[in-house]
Amino acid sequence: MRFEMLDLNKCIRELELRYHKPVNSVQLLAVSKQQSIAKIQTAIDAGYTAFGESYLQEALPKIEHFKKTPHSLTWHFIGPIQGNKTKKIAENFDWVQSVDSMKIAKRLNDQRPEHLPPLNICLQINISDEPTKSGIQVNDLFTLAEFCKTLPRITLRGLMAIPAPQSNFDDQRKVFHALRLLFDALNEKNFSLDTLSMGMSNDMEAAIAEGSTMVRIGTALFGTRIIP
Ligand SMILES: *Cc1c(COP(=O)(O)O)cnc(C)c1O
């Protein structure tokens, strides 16, 4: 059976129009964690070029595989980061969206290989303030952002968050709005951030309504995750 991939770019363009956002202001990150190389290939054939992975061991062979193909892809690390994984992450990814401590930022900076451009990073915020979730508290955001500015081998591009799941559209918007305000507050302090990474399969529309510049879509694009 051929796997039919949804034309998500078309969908995103329609949402940009509906919420009066500039055309192409929202990028799509195809979240390929727990998806096969064959499905990633289908996504590449459909024109997708940016992929998100959450587990280092699973991601490395995929990245290796596509290095041997003519495609120019961008890989984003979006999962929780343990200190002993930062070296491989700094060596193999273009972006890390889940930075949530000075220690991790410093290690990524120190371990980013010289022959590569600075690593793009987003700070992950625990926006719903859930004790068990990754991400920094809002109160720690400015200190960490200032610290990242001093590190030459990483470039702070923006903010990322995974809000607690909510089914009500207005409730989804409220959380994204709060994140948007933090993003604007940093930019008022001249951080020049261009990436507000918010919105997944179930809350993409609310995120775009609130000014997301990057939605991270897994299941809506690839179907149910399979690799255990
Ligand atoms: C898994 C994951 C996604 C994608 O979630 P879907 O609901 O499948 O779209 C997005 N962002 C992060 C950080 C994830 O871990």
pTM here is: 0.96
Going from the Cα of 216 to the center of ligand 1, the distance in angstroms, rounded, reads: 6
Going from the Cα of 206 to the center of ligand 1, the distance in angstroms, rounded, reads: 15
**Dihedral pair phi/psi, residue 213, rounded to 5°:** -110, -5
Q: Tell how far CA 5 is from the center of its chain.
A: 21
* Atom of ligand 1 at shortest range from CA of 162: 13
Going from the Cα of 220 to the center of ligand 1, the distance in angstroms, rounded, reads: 10
Note the pLDDT of residue 3. Answer: 58
CB of 81 shorter than 6 A to ligand 1: no
CB of 162 shorter than 6 A to ligand 1: yes
The protein residue whose alpha carbon is closest to atom 4 in ligand 1 is 218
CB of 201 shorter than 6 A to ligand 1: yes
The CB density around residue 189, as the number of other CB atoms within 10 Å, is 10
Note the pLDDT of residue 1. Answer: 40
Note the pLDDT of residue 199. Answer: 98
Going from the Cα of 40 to the center of ligand 1, the distance in angstroms, rounded, reads: 15
CB burial string 138-158: b at 16+ within 10 A, e below: eebbeebbeebeebebbebbb
Note the pLDDT of residue 228. Answer: 66
Three-state DSSP class for 112? Answer: coil
> What is the number of H-type helices and E-type strands within the chain?
9, 8
Note the pLDDT of residue 4. Answer: 63
Q: Which residues of the chain have pLDDT under 70?
A: 1-4, 227-228
